[in-house]
């Protein structure tokens, strides 16, 4: 795959289709469309909207889970081999590394794509260090896109009733943390508590 060079959204979509399962492909297209919708809906202008014929929200949505289906050890080895630096959290929970790995793979396919787009893809797994409009829209879209059937339409509308993208992301994060606790999966991870604090600071609460 690393020798492929692609120039259009259609080509990126074709590569994604060959790389991931049908379910993941449908999810990624949903994230792409929803990220664009959110950026528009919240009137976001402070991001690099287009580059070389690609649109930010659509590109990041299609690319964000390119490596999501790599098994943990393969993902860690892929990052090591390509000099992708991982945090201790990503090494301990390899699934978290798919953001950075996918951002790297996107760069192999589309060399020189914007750094801010790369950061948004890298940050989508934890939300950490992803507090610009594009990264926040991608994080929210990943959770609310239409194929996420665990969400009701009413809940989707409730999230979208938030006055800002930051408030919307905060509401989702609080629900995620409450859900983990309720199901007894685990208490909120260190990363999600850090993101919660970052968002509270941004919201001034
Ligand atoms: Fe992901
Ligand atoms: Fe995703």
Indicate whether 203 belongs to any domain: no
Q: What is the pLDDT of residues 24-36, one digit of tens each?
A: 999 999 999 999 9
In a domain, 59, yes or no: yes
* Reported confidence tier of residue 94, pLDDT bands at 50, 70, 90: very high
User: How far away, in angstroms, is 149 Cα from ligand 2 center?
Assistant: 14
CATH, residue 112: 1.10.3210.10
Ligand 1 centroid to 99 CA: how many Å? 6
State the pTM of this model: 0.95
Q: Is 185 inside any structural domain?
A: no
SS3 content of the chain, % helix, strand, coil (to 5): 65, 0, 35
Residue 64 lies in a domain: yes
The domain of 147 spans: 9-151
Q: Is residue 189 part of a domain?
A: no
Is residue 158, in this structure, part of any structural domain at all?
no
Q: What residues does the ion ligand 2 have nearby, CB within 5 Å?
A: 65, 142
Is there a domain that residue 175 lies in?
no
Residues of the chain above pLDDT 70, percent = 97
Instruction: Report CA(66)–ligand 2 centroid distance (Å).
Output: 9
Q: List Cα–Cα distances, 165 to 22, 58, 151, 169, 172, in angstroms.
A: 29, 17, 18, 6, 11
Note the ligand closest to the C-alpha atom of 141: 2
Number of domains in the chain: 1
Whole-number Å distance, alpha carbon 147 to ligand 2 midpoint, is 11
| Ligand 1 center–CA 138 separation, angstroms | 10
So what's the pLDDT on residue 126?
86
User: 41 pLDDT band (50/70/90 cuts)?
Assistant: very high
Over range 137-158, report the average pLDDT.
96
Listed as own residue / partner, the contacts of 172-180 with beta carbons closer than 8 Å and 24 or more positions apart are 172/139, 172/140, 172/143, 172/144, 173/127, 173/199, 176/143
Does residue 166 sit within a domain?
A: no
Contact at 8 Å (CB) between 98 and 65? yes
pLDDT at residue 188, rounded to an integer: 63
Residue pair 24/68 in contact by the 8 Å Cβ criterion: yes
193 versus 121: which is more confidently predicted? 121
pLDDT at 187 over 80: no
Ligand nearest to the CA of 26: 2
């Amino acid at each position: 795959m690393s020798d492929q060079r692609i120039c259009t959204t259609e080509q990126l979509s074709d590569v994604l289709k060959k790389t991931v399962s049908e379910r993941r492909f449908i999810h990624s297209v949903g994230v792409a469309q929803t990220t664009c919708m959110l950026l528009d809906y919240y009137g976001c202008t402070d991001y690099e909207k287009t580059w070389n014929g690609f649109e930010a929200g659509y590109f990041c949505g299609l690319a964000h889970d390119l490596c999501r289906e790599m098994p943990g050890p393969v993902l860690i080895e892929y990052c090591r081999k390509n000099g992708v630096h991982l945090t201790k959290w990503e090494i301990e929970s390899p699934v978290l590394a798919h953001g950075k790995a996918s951002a790297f793979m996107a760069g192999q396919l589309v060399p020189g794509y914007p750094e801010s787009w790369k950061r948004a893809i890298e940050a989508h797994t934890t939300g950490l260090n992803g507090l610009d409009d594009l990264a926040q829209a991608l994080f929210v879209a990943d959770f609310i896109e239409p194929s996420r059937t665990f969400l009701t339409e009413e809940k989707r509308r409730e999230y979208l009733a938030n006055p800002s993208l930051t408030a919307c992301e905060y509401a989702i994060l609080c629900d995620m943390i409450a859900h983990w606790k309720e199901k007894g999966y685990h208490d909120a991870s260190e990363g999600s508590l850090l993101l919660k604090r970052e968002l509270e600071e941004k919201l001034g609460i």
